[in-house]
Amino acid sequence: MAEVQARIGAMIDQRVARYASVRGTSRRFRSYETELRRMSAREGAACEQALLVNEAPMTPRPGLAFVTVVGTLVYLGLAVLGWGGFAAFFSHPARIALAIAVFVMTGAALFSG
């Protein structure tokens, strides 16, 4: 119980320090800190878990990743068919750059919120 409260306190102090340099935000996070410190151990543990989830890096869900990649392949596949095949589509450097950019943006989209 004390360990959970100590970890929450440390996380709160880090967040307050991180935003203290921005004008006016430190007051808001201080009130947030006060509210968290008043919680019981059970509420604090739930809050700790929520804070840790917010700090975790974005990981794509498998279903969403599959649909995104398949949709991108279908989109580019239609463009390739419209230009008359792979050789015709990729014979122009701008379309090669377009295909690369689409795949890079698709990869970035998988890790965005």
Q: Range of 83's domain?
A: 62-110
55, 82, 100 — which closes off a domain?
55
Residues 51 and 6 in one domain: yes
Is residue 103 a contact partner of residue 91, using CB atoms and an 8 Å limit? no
Domain count, the chain: 2
Q: Is the pTM of this model over 0.75?
A: no
Is pLDDT of 56 > 70? no
Task: Using pLDDT thresholds of 50, 70 and 90, give the confidence band for residue 35.
Answer: low
Q: In terms of domains, do 79 and 101 share one?
A: yes
Start-to-end CA distance of the chain, whole Å, equals: 33
What is each CA distance from 13 to 25, 41, 49, 82, 104, in whole angstroms? Answer: 14, 18, 16, 57, 37
Whether 67 and 51 map to the same domain: the answer is no
pLDDT at 54 over 70: no
The half-sphere exposure of 96 on its side-chain side, counting CA atoms within 13 A, is: 6
Q: Quick one: tokens of 34?
A: 């006060």
Task: Tell me the pLDDT band of 43, cut-offs 50, 70 and 90.
Answer: low
CB atoms within 10 A of CB 44: 19
**Claim to verify: residue 71 and residue 32 sit in the same structural domain:** no
From 55, 78, 96, the end of a domain falls on: 55
pLDDT of residue 51: 53
Question: What percentage of the chain reaches a pLDDT higher than 70?
Answer: 54
